[in-house]
Amino acid sequence: MVPSPAPKTRLAYIDWIRGLACLLMFQTHCYDSWLGGSARQSRFFMYSQLGGTFPAPLFLFVAGISFALVTERLRQKNLPPGQIARTTIRRGAEILGFGLLFRVQEFVISWGWAPKSDLLRVDILNAIGVSMMLMGFMCWMVNVWTRPGPAVDAGETRQGLGGYHLANLIVTASGTALLISLLTPLLWTTWRPDWLSWPLESYVNGVHNLGKPQAWLFPIFPWSAFAFAGLAVGFFLQSAWMRAREVKGFAALGIFGVGLVLFSRWLDRLPVKVYPAYDYWHTSPEFFLIRLGMLMLILCGTYAWCRWGAGQWGFSPLIQLGQASLLVYWVHIEFVYGRVSILPKHAQGIAGATGGLAVIAGAMLVLAYIRTHANGWRQRLRKSTAVTAQAGVA
């Protein structure tokens, strides 16, 4: 049996993935905002935007894993299912509130040329917030309907979630992820809930006010599926089996990821098409599976990097970014897309935009470092002030 790494290592790979998502997000936004002329038609730009398809699934997937960790911590405190649900759903509502506040900020900054409909645009923070609220509701149902008796609970508290209760959580989360993926093509086409007002329908399929679903928005279908998949993985990571065989468990997740990629490719090649409208790159279950498989591989690789590689050889920029991912997301948008963009938009070559990307990445790293260390600095300052004051009195 290989001993489990320290708790710091267990949490490091989550922050590392968030940091990777931030870095991919920076390059996608910077090149999209600043490249112009022939550079915008180049293969370089195409690949930069292809890399931009990973941040949103990564953020949602890790949100699901983190949600499972938080839920387990609350359960180990012997809190009732209702209180756990209120705590987790409230956190999801806070993230959704941040998303709505972010839209207000963007509208105010863009006053004069931004349409009022931008206030109700479904962005990634909205998707994460709603997904967390839905995950909280799902966990509450499972905890109420399948909660073991007191004797079993006592054993589970010592060894983490286990037995049929764990299986129900994993199966329900996995089934919800699959159901969301399977319903997405229909809810974008033949089953569109167009009887809803467009702000509400937009949370279902991203229709916004444009008359048809938009691939650049982040509705529940299909994006929440990545959060529920992460939730299933997060509960698996909490199992007694996984804790005793952590290395084998992560290797199994990597192998499962390869299997999902191959299975997705096989499904896509089948001559029979189930859906009346098939869009592989945006709504198909096959594309969800291949991206999920890649997320599993990233998770496995990141764990290996943080355990045996250079992931924790001192200061890690990606872990630092991951610990303040919400803040750097919020701030960098203004300096890339907003009125205070550090470079003229759609007017740069590859070299100029890359230089701007380096400035943004460096500035966000400094901001993240300040954010995560500010409390410690304040506490040391208070202690220093108190010691000085006592010395003066003496």
- Indicate whether 71 belongs to any domain: yes
* Coil, strand or helix at 388: helix
The residues near 200 (Cβ < 8 Å, ≥ 6 apart) are none
Residue 348, beta-bridge partner list: 35
Distances (CA, A) of 42 to 47, 345, 349, 352: 9, 17, 10, 15
The C-alpha atoms of residue 132 and residue 126 are separated, in whole angstroms, by: 10
Report the C-alpha dihedral over residues 333, 339, 340, 346, rounded to 10 degrees.
80
Distance of CA 277 to the CA centre of its chain: 28
What DSSP string describes 243-303?
Answer: HHSHHHHHHHHHHHHHHHHHHHHHHHH-S---SSS--TTTT-HHHHHHHHHHHHHHHHHHH
- Indicate whether 192 belongs to any domain: yes
Distances (CA, A) of 82 to 79, 94, 176, 255, 300: 8, 18, 21, 36, 33
What DSSP string describes 186-210?
Answer: HHTTTT--TTS-HHHHHHHH--TTT
Cβ atoms 62, 17 nearer than 8 A: yes
- Indicate whether 170 belongs to any domain: yes
* Lookup: tokens for 380: 């040391």
- Indicate whether 69 belongs to any domain: yes
What is residue 307's predicted lDDT score, i.e. its pLDDT?
87
The C-alpha atoms of residue 260 and residue 263 are separated, in whole angstroms, by: 5
- Indicate whether 357 belongs to any domain: yes
What is residue 265's predicted lDDT score, i.e. its pLDDT?
94
pLDDT tens for each residue of 119-168: 999 999 999 999 999 999 999 999 888 765 544 444 444 444 455 778 89
What is residue 219's predicted lDDT score, i.e. its pLDDT?
97
The C-alpha atoms of residue 239 and residue 309 are separated, in whole angstroms, by: 25
What is residue 314's predicted lDDT score, i.e. its pLDDT?
76
What is residue 17's predicted lDDT score, i.e. its pLDDT?
95
Low-confidence ranges of the chain (pLDDT < 50): 1-7, 150-161
Model-wide pTM > 0.85: yes
What is residue 76's predicted lDDT score, i.e. its pLDDT?
81
Domain that holds residue 182: 7-393
Distance of CA 40 to the CA centre of its chain: 28
- Indicate whether 2 belongs to any domain: no
What is residue 153's predicted lDDT score, i.e. its pLDDT?
45
Domain total in the chain: 1
- Indicate whether 147 belongs to any domain: yes
Which amino acid would we find at residue 391?
A: A
* Lookup: tokens for 253: 């997740």
Distances (CA, A) of 317 to 23, 31, 332: 10, 21, 16
- Indicate whether 361 belongs to any domain: yes
Cβ atoms 238, 229 nearer than 8 A: no
Q: Which contiguous run of DSSP H or E holds residue 167?
A: helix 163-187
